[in-house]
Structure 1
Amino acid sequence: MIAGNSRPRRTACTTLALVLPLAALAACGGSGGSDASAEGGSGKGTISVWAHQGQKSEDAVLQAAVKSFNSSQSKIKVELKLLPGNDYTKTVTATEASKLPDVLEFDGPTMANFVYNKKLAPIDDYVSVKTMGNATDASKAQGEIGGKHYGLGMYDSGLGIYGNKKLLDAAGVKYPTSVADAWTAAEFTAALKALKAKDSDGKTLDISEQYGLAGEWGTYGFAPIVWSAGGSLLKDGKAEGALDTPAAVSALKTFQSWKTYVDPNTDGNAFAKDRVALSWVGHWNYPTYSKALGDDLVVLPLPDFGNGPKTGQGSWAWGIGADTKNAKAAGTFIDYLLNDTNVTAMTKANGAPPATTTALAASELYKQGGPLQLFADQLAKPCGDSQIDKSCVAVTRPVTAGYPTITAKFGEALNSIYGGADPKDALAKAARAIDQDFSDNAGYKIP
């Protein structure tokens, strides 16, 4: 969802939650250790829980879940602390592991850095088999390092192109109805040209430029272009030869060529007010767009640059503090958070795709035949962060403690390319900077 002033609401679009300074994580001196000193404990007693403060509706759902959990049994008492959303990641980063809570929330791409700095413990031995089995494959992919899971989410995220059927039809533009028949990059460009011919100012596309391409929106929103071209942000610990491939360079040159069609969208209303026919953004804009367009709203996949259409995914997740002395109780609470009642309540509050199979299948928005089925279909074909081929769609941002550097450098490159810089030079520069940082930090290896 987007707030009334068109600024991103963090929790409804976790992809944009990373507008907060992930770079702060990069400053952390990682110990490179793994699996700190979490102890199972008795499974009873009081446990502390940290979460980020987001929309009032989400906060209310979480507070209600805690109250319900505490009243449902007498063995465990949860004490919830909501921390300011804009400072949440910085707070966890700055807090010693021994002073972190038993259970904590974290944004997906920050997980590996927290594991690297010994702030999270594996959850596999503490959440139930039922909970792990009910998590979607995409959610599990985001939370896994080296065969161990450090987090599971209540909800996920996804990208698509919203279309205005009335404007598309008026321009004679045929559009895809599923991932299987996604536009090619050339077909997408042709659609923009056709729409321009029927548009008074020639601006036919919104890419949420107002979010800032140099920030996390740049990576979440447009790394799919690199993946769809057969490239990657990182492969086998290296950016050179992955991020700067000829195909990735060509794909971002195409992206650069679309600028002439883009409405800067400074007021956040370009699509809702019919100024453009297409909007490249995430699931969170559906409520606003659906209200504005009604039956004229169509939901389309991102274009295919040769390796199949791709989307970003990943969102906030729950994990166990590495120094907890009561991991059994922590796991019991996470089990409760991830039950159908709580996941359904949370995803109704924020509009995100549920990250459990049962809640996803029952969701009015995301179920088969629902208006946002496309996002569920994409998440049903997860790539993880390494096996990015034509058979999968939803790609996890690189699961590495060096992610803050990757997203900072890619965002810089994307923004400069959009501004007219040579794509080959910009991507090569970004790849060199990423690899230098990884070399300086021994590859951010987590044993």
Structure 2
Amino acid sequence: MIAGTSRARRTAGTALALVLPLTALAACGGGGGSTAKSAAGSGTGTITVWAHQGQASEATALQNAVKTFNSAQKKVKVKLTLIPDTDYTKTITATDAAKLPDVMEFDGPTMASFVYNQKLAAIDDYVSAKTLANATDAIKAEGEIDGKHYGLGMYDSGLGIYGNKKLLDAAGIKYPTGLSDDWTAAEFTAAVKKLAAKDSDGKSLDLQESNGYANEWGTYGFAPIVWSAGGSLLKDGKAEGALDTSAVASALKTFQGWKKYTDPNTDGNAFAKGRVALSWVGHWMYPAYSKALGKDLVVLPLPDFGDGPKTGQGSWAWGIGADTKNGKAAGAFLDSLLNDTNVTAMTTANGAPPGTKSVLAKNPLYKQGGPLQLFADQLAKPCGDSDITKSCVAVTRPVTAGYPTVTAKFSQALSDVYGGTDPKTALAKAARAIDQDFSDNDGYKLQ
């Protein structure tokens, strides 16, 4: 997702001033294989662990998890290294596989690149069956390649529309109560226009414009429009015929039309200060919005462009280095890290949707009846990255080592469309560039 700010860990990171799940770096060269050199080892001794340094409360939760693990048994000792957010993905990319740690955290969309470059081992033989079974289906979808799991996350992410109930009611606008009665794109647009007509500056919508769109926020935040229109960023390894369809172009034309009603939000307070009634963003804004609006805050799904409402998902995850000599010990640590105590502590620290079934069911924000139940409901209907149907909701960004190209080309097209470029032209250009890169790299196939 977005590897960048101190808050980026909540979802997955690029350098945006918001907490997102994002990726940034290209697959560094021609790996092309997933031959792991990992060894089970004795299950004892010292193992090294790398993690990116998130906000202070997250770092504390992780450090406490390590201390507890080290003190609870004598067989394995964990040596934790925290690396600054801005350097983290670059550090893994630049480090030879033999010098990587036994266990490492990574931003979800970078996983396939690290597998392709032989830096991650499959974890199925090292973590317990209980740990795998307790991971939510959405988390498992992000961490799986060809039936093997290379990563599991402590938390997930999701998108929605935050609404100001007071302003919506004053404008006489009926709004969704959940996924079952979500707005169509036309209904959402009509609401935006009606709210704008009652606003002094004619602005009623926040799209986090100040972050820009030619970056991971563009892909994470607005690829759901593509999916909801029945398209895809990639289908069977190709963008042409999936990304550049007439339905996707029409949907992005609608997106383009929202610009005149959108507050640039340069101060980050367009929604919190009541300048707009609707904000298209993710779970990470709930604390600030809840504090600002209290009972006037409502949480709504993204609009349906014809193939059902969709959301992005995925965030930081944990895996095992391909060259580890102590996979058993690494797996034992991951079993501990992903237990209820540690997942609860981490998701309390960052407010993200828990990545395990047991914690998600009990979390006061996301449980049935909780204020963010919508996000849990969305994640309970995962699509994976390829089987995107009308009935599923949470879509995983393409699990491919070529993802950096996909996100770079799509987000640039999105930014161009928002700036006035014809959607059909922008999408066709992006699709051609993506397919050319995949052709040049033999489809980024694992061998």
Structure 1-normalised TM-score? Answer: 0.97
Spell out structure 1 runs of 4+ moving beyond 6 A: 17-21
- Alignment match, 1:258: 258
Partner of 2:369, secondary structure, is coil
Match of 1:3 in 2: none
Please name the residue that 1:97 is paired with. Answer: 97
Q: Match of 1:301?
A: 301
Corresponding residue for residue 444 of structure 1: 444
Q: Report the 3-state secondary structure (helix = DSSP H, G, I; strand = E; otherwise coil) of the residue aligned with 2:438.
A: helix
CA deviation after TM superposition for structure 1 residue 211, in Å: 1.8
- Do residues 421 (structure 1) and 421 (structure 2) align? yes
CA distance in 2, matches of 1:158, 1:292: 21
Q: Tell me the CA shift for residue 20 of structure 1.
A: 10
Stretches of structure 2 lacking an aligned partner (at least 5 in a row): none
Q: Deviation of residue 21 (structure 1)?
A: 9.2
Aligned to 1:115: 115
Residue 22 of structure 1 deviates from its aligned partner by 4.5
2:312 aligns to what SS in structure 1? Answer: strand
* Aligned residue runs from structure 1 range 155-234, under 5 A: 155-234=155-234
Q: Which amino acid aligns with 1:360?
A: L
Partner of 2:11: 13
Shift of 1:210: 1.6
Q: Identity, % of aligned pairs? A: 77
Within a 5 Å distance, the mapping from 1:108-147 to structure 2 comes to 108-147=108-147
Asked if structure 1 preserves the Cα contact closer than 8 Å seen for 2:13 and 2:21, the reply is: no
SS in 2 for 1:14: coil
The match for 1:292 is: 292
Distance 1:46 1:217 in 2: 38
In 2, the alpha carbon distance for the partners of 1:250 and 1:391 equals 21
Distance 1:220 1:53 in 2: 22
Hey, what does 2:25 align to over in structure 1? 24
Shift of 1:446: 1.1
Q: 1:21 to 1:154 in 2, by over 3 A?
A: closer
Q: Which runs of 5+ in 1 are unaligned?
A: 1-6
Displacement of 1:8 after TM fit? 7.3
Counterpart of 1:4 in structure 2 is: none
The amino acid that maps onto 1:321 is G
> Quick one: which amino acid aligns to residue 11 of structure 1?
R
Cα contact 2:21–2:315 (8 A) shared by 1: no
Query: 1:14 corresponds to which letter in structure 2?
Result: A
Q: Which residue in 1 is equivalent to 2:246? A: 246
Aligned partner of 2:314: which letter?
A: G
Shift in CA distance, 223/391, structure 1 to aligned 2, threshold 3 Å: same
> d(CA) in 2 for partners of 1:43 and 1:143?
24
CA RMSD, Structure 1 to Structure 2 (Å): 1.3
Q: For residue 119 of structure 1, what is the amino acid of its counterpart?
A: K
8 Å contact from structure 2 (residues 207, 281) kept in 1 = yes
Q: Deviations over 1:256-291 (max 9, x none)?
A: 000011000000000000000000000000000000
**Matched length:** 440
Contact 2:159–2:311 under 8 Å retained in 1: yes
Q: Give me the TM-score of the superposition, normalised by structure 2.
A: 0.97
CA offset at residue 15 of structure 1?
A: 5.0
Equivalent residues of 1:312, 1:394 under 8 A apart: yes
What is aligned with 1:279?
Answer: 279
Q: 1:43 to 1:20 in 2, by over 3 A?
A: same
CA distance in 2, matches of 1:175, 1:353: 24
Matched-pair contact (CA < 8 Å) for 1:382–1:392 = yes
Is the CA contact 2:11–2:316 (under 8 Å) kept in the aligned structure 1? no
Find the aligned partners of 2:384 and 2:21 in 1 and give their Cα distance. 24
Q: Would the aligned equivalents of 1:35 and 1:120 in 2 still touch at CA under 8 Å?
A: no
Label 1:361 to 1:187 Cα distance change in 2 as closer, same or farther (>3 A). same
| Per-residue deviation, 1:12 | 2.2
Give 1:308 deviation, angstroms. Answer: 0.1
Q: Say whether the 8 Å CA contact 2:21–2:314 is kept in structure 1.
A: no
2:51 aligned residue: 51
Counterpart of 1:12, as a letter, is: R
Partner Cα distance (1:8, 1:297) in 2: 26
Q: Is the 8 A contact 1:20 1:87 kept in 2?
A: no
**What is the distance in 2 between the residues matched to 1:312 and 1:30?**
29
**3-state SS of paired residue (1:25):** coil
Partner residue, 1:361: 361
| Matched AA of 2:293 | L
CA deviations 1:228-278 (Å, max 9, x no partner) are 000000000000000000100000000000001100000000000000000
